[in-house]
Amino acid sequence: MSNRAYNKMWADTHEALHYLLQEELSSQDAKPLTDRVMIFQMLTSFYIKYVQIFRNVEELYEQIVHPQKRRIIHHVLEGVMGRILELKDEMVKLEFSEFHYYDDILQDLKLTPEALEIPIPRYFMKDKLKVMKERENILSRILSQSSIQVQKETGIKTLTLEEAIQIIQIAERARQGRLRAKFMLEIRMEEERQNLAKQRKASAMAPEMAATLIKKVWCGYIQRKITKKERAEEMIFLEMEPPPDFQKPSSTQLQAQKVYQQRQVVQEVHEVEYQQALVTIKEQVRSVEGPDIQETLQEQIRQWFIECRNITGKFPDYPDEEKGGSAAIFASKTPQEVLQELAAQEEKKKQKDKEKKEKKSGKDKKEKKKKKKGKADKEEEEEGWKMAESDFLPTVAEGHKTYEGVWQNRDERTNLSQKYVAELIKEDKRKEVEEEIRVQVDELMRQELKNLKIAVDRDKSTKRKGKKDGKKKKSKKEKKKKKKGKDLTANRTIDSLYEELVREGLLIKPKNIQLSDFKGEYNYLGTTLRQTDIEPMPSLLDVKQLITLYGILPLGSQTVHEKAPLVKSLLLAGPSGVGKKMLVHALCTETGANLFNLSSHNITGKYPGKTGLQMMIHLVFKVIMDHENHYLMVTIMFLCSSDDSVLW
């Protein structure tokens, strides 16, 4: 596909997203629902539509080469991922089950079960590729050193004289046995050879009989070969066996792979150019527009000083940096409005002081009772189910709004190579430069205001004392916060702790297994069985989907991990050999996570005693919580392992 085709796909995806956001807003404004079937159908329809959008957006993020478009797509992609997890959480709370079936809805939407498969974003591994290689090198180096030490320890073992004699006797008896067996085999083969020679002499066959026999054997061989070929063709026709060239990629696949690799190279080149442009354009804006911005800010602030002085008869207090400095002054407010707000804040402080001194009266109790009754009446009126507030819908709506405002109607006929747009960078960097200059201007204007107050107003000493007292109180609180527990490994580096955990076998190297290697089929009769009050057995594809939703997506995206419904641990239960550990290793491979094996049979005897257990837990959590070493980004702890269950 060309750039124009992917831009068309992007437009179609945002059009579908636009209608879906409207449906979501209308459902939130609607009255609470009481029919569980209608609620579940609404949630599942939203879920399926978001999954389809997710698949399209993930493909767009991989194929589009424009760096600024990719940032908006990434923003929408994280929002859609989080919204899918929120809808899944709503369905779990509604149905009290982790497994859901959408047979009837798929039929209504005319979709196949493959449309429900959650794709794993490929940028999860691309962004961590360098880190993964570095970590693999560190792990292989530590493991090779530990294996050399083990070989040295095992090779130095000394034997007693009796043990050495016994080993020699065993080896000699084995050698004699092999010679005897070889001799008996030669005798048997010689006897068979003699018997065959006698039979040939006894049965002298005529040429015609010999030719018939040869023809019979040859025709049988040919017919068996033809039958085997026809049977293989029949099995391929019935799709019971793959064709012989099934594993070989076709010419179209090879061409698609080549185009994909070329696009990845172009993405990297455009990204480098974009990062360089961010620096150069910011410097240009600072050098060209910086002095004008500084002058206008100073003039506006001085004008504000004069207006406040004319209205109140005194100079105002300059806002602190925590409140935004001069940005709080010009937040679309006039000087009179700013002064009214300051006066209102002072009145609120006085009222709070009075309320603390006064005792609680009976009127307050009556008001509380009235409030409780009002809340109870509201809860009675609002019985039923209503969609919970979403943390990701604003993210999706923001990305969609940015697309409509910036990219929907932009003419890109002159940008065929899909490089960055300098105008957009200037708009963003102009705001950054203005904020940086504003901080400098605030420092200058504070000093100027201070000089003006010294020259005009002489009674400001009491306020300064209050500020100093407040600072002293903060320092005491900070001292209290700084108190921490003892560090059992204060004199050791994180690298040494990491190496110790690898040597002890607690931090293991996951197997290179993709989640796509876990094969499974969709449960086509799930809805039908539930309608007859029969709970269907979850299929392997259902388990695979849950691993993607609850494991891979939160671990792969920091935004999704922070805002999505929290799932702290997963328990995989089933008989031996169904793929529980395989799923854990696949999850580590897809997210680039570290794997800690803290199962009971693995830690037995390694850190004995109570102090040893404390040391082990301290080592593990100190390594996990370290953020300076980038090869310790994501962590999975493998807590329990048996033939029936795996907890992680």
The helix (run of H) or strand (run of E) holding residue 118 is none
CA torsion sign for 386, 389, 395, 398 is: positive
**Could you tell me the pTM of the whole model?**
0.72
Determine the pLDDT at residue 57. 92
Determine the pLDDT at residue 223. 94
Determine the pLDDT at residue 479. 45
The helix (run of H) or strand (run of E) holding residue 620 is helix 609-625
User: CA 131 to CA 133: how far, in whole Å?
Assistant: 5
Indicate the burial class of 580 (C-beta count within 10 angstroms; 0-12, 13-18, 19 or more): buried
Determine the pLDDT at residue 469. 47
Determine the pLDDT at residue 247. 74
The three-state (H, E, C) secondary structure of 278-304, written as one string: HHHHHHHHHHHHHHHHHHHHHHHHHHH
CA distances from 313 to 130, 340, 457, 494, 543 (A): 64, 15, 10, 61, 72
DSSP state, residue 403: I
Determine the pLDDT at residue 346. 63
Provide φ and ψ at 573, rounded to 5°. Answer: -120, 145
Contacts 24+ apart (CB under 8 A), 437-441: 437/290, 437/293, 437/294, 437/297, 438/297, 438/325, 438/326, 438/327, 439/321, 439/325, 440/294, 441/294, 441/297, 441/298, 441/301, 441/326
Angle subtended at Cα 248 by Cα 247 and Cα 252, rounded to the nearest 5 degrees: 125
Q: Do 272 and 72 meet the contact criterion of CB atoms below 8 Å apart?
A: no
Q: Which residues in the chain show pLDDT less than 70?
A: 1, 146-157, 201-205, 330-383, 457-485, 626-648
Q: Which residues pair with 571 in a beta bridge?
A: 647
Q: What is the pLDDT of residues 305-330, one digit of tens each?
A: 787 777 777 777 777 777 777 777 76
- The structure tokens listed for 507 are 């931090």
Q: Do 509 and 143 meet the contact criterion of CB atoms below 8 Å apart?
A: yes
CA distances from 421 to 2, 6, 71, 119, 274 (A): 20, 18, 13, 31, 9
DSSP state, residue 565: P
User: CA 410 to CA 419: how far, in whole Å?
Assistant: 14
Determine the pLDDT at residue 635. 59
Provide φ and ψ at 314, rounded to 5°. Answer: -150, 160
Indicate the burial class of 470 (C-beta count within 10 angstroms; 0-12, 13-18, 19 or more): exposed
User: CA 394 to CA 402: how far, in whole Å?
Assistant: 12
Cα 238 from chain centre:
40
- The structure tokens listed for 548 are 């993607």
